[in-house]
Amino acid sequence: MMKSIRYAKYSDLNSIMKIIRLCADHMISNNILQWNNLYPNKEIIQKDIENKEMLVYETKNEIIGCIVISETKDKEYESVKWLENNDSCIYIHRLAVNPTFQNSGIGNKLMEHAENYARKKQLTSVRLDTFSKNIKNQKFYEKRGYEKLENIYFPLQSEFPFYCYELLI
């Protein structure tokens, strides 16, 4: 079975949006109100592709997962006291795996890819945030060695905080 992680193309947009919607619906059905109709939307995903930050996990010519690897620090992260006091890092956003394929190691493969990217570029850390009500995600990142730091807020998504995490490379 041919599996690959590659940069997304504009022609992948509908497949990526399908995964995003499936994941949003799956989280909502589990009372995790992390993603909604405002976030992540098509414009955000288009920009991820345009900026060459969106990667997809593909098997048998079907996209079943995606991840954003960015070197841009969002304004919400400005006040966070990170483990490393520098910007020699990457930020992970919008990690999503089609719910049918969850718990099969694809999320780990995408994170390994991101962490290896950081190592190759000789960066010092990988940073991300995850929703405070998404216990499964918190355990996923903690199992990978990420350290939980401060809370940040995304009012368009939720009144509840998002936890910042960092892994030193």
Domain assignment present for 163: no
pTM: 0.95
- Which residues fall within 8 angstroms of residue 164, CB to CB, at 6 or more apart? 77, 80, 82, 127, 128, 129, 148, 149, 150, 151, 152
For 54, the domain range is 3-123
What pLDDT, on a 0 to 100 scale, did the predictor assign at position 58? 97
Domain assignment present for 38: yes
Cβ atoms of residues 45 and 24 within 8 Å: no
Cα end-to-end distance, the chain, whole Å: 31
Domain assignment present for 12: yes
Return the CATH number at 34. Answer: 3.40.630.30
Q: Report the candidate in 43, 66, 63 with the shortest Cα–Cα distance to residue 53.
A: 66
What pLDDT, on a 0 to 100 scale, did the predictor assign at position 156? 77
Confidence of residue 1 (pLDDT cuts 50, 70, 90): low
Strands 89-97 and 125-131, by their bridges, are parallel
Domain assignment present for 87: yes
Number of domains in the chain: 1
Confidence of residue 132 (pLDDT cuts 50, 70, 90): very high
Domain assignment present for 146: no
